[in-house]
Amino acid sequence: MAAQIEGRAREILEAPNMAHVATLRADGSIHGVVAWADVEDGHVTLNSARGRIWPTNLERDPRVTITVANAENPYEFVSVRGRVAKESDEEGHDHIDALAKKYLGVDEYPFHQEGEQRVKFYVEPEKVTVQGG
């Protein structure tokens, strides 16, 4: 059953706070990265490029934990445990541009690489927890 992203959890995710994304490697060890995130239609959305480690991990095992600390008070954070419900190559470039607007205040992602295929992930939350505050 999907958990709801609402209240303070939604506020923290919608603000330009950095997300810590934890996925599982093939050997079962944890791989953690910092990424941009947002909320859309009850899902946490993430963006990366095909071929990188954590998207490859999610293709193999869709389980993920996303932790986002409030930049103004890092003792307050939201943790979302869930699974990738959908991924979209078609929305990848537009999504990274929208995230660049949120995080950098620019209309276009300034770090596009030649031949890079961006992918947008929709994470369906199974458990949402807010701590601190």
The radius of gyration of the chain's CA atoms, rounded to the nearest angstrom, is 14
Structure confidence at residue 45 (pLDDT): 98
**Domains: count for the chain:** 1
pLDDT for res 2: 81
Q: Alpha-carbon dihedral of residues 46, 131, 3, 1, nearest 10 degrees?
A: 110
Say if pTM beats, i.e. exceeds, 0.85.
yes
Q: Is residue 56 one of the residues assigned to a domain? A: yes
Structure confidence by residue, pLDDT tens digits, 25-66: 999 999 999 999 999 999 999 999 999 999 999 999 999 999
Q: Looking at the domain assignment, is residue 82 inside a domain?
A: yes
Read off the CATH number of the domain in which 91 is found.
2.30.110.10
pLDDT at 1 over 60: no
- Residue type at 3 in one-letter notation: A
2 domain residue, yes or no: no
In whole angstroms, give the CA distance from residue 77 to residue 25. Answer: 25
The boundaries of the domain holding residue 84 are 7-131
User: Residue 93: inside a domain, yes or no?
Assistant: yes
pLDDT tens per residue across span 73-119:
999 999 999 999 999 999 999 999 999 999 999 999 999 889 899 99
Evaluate whether residue 25 is within a structural domain: yes
Please indicate, yes or no, if residue 45 is contained in any of the structural domains: yes
Whether 15 is in a domain gets the answer yes
| Residue 122 located in a structural domain | yes
- pLDDT of residue 123 exceeding 80: yes
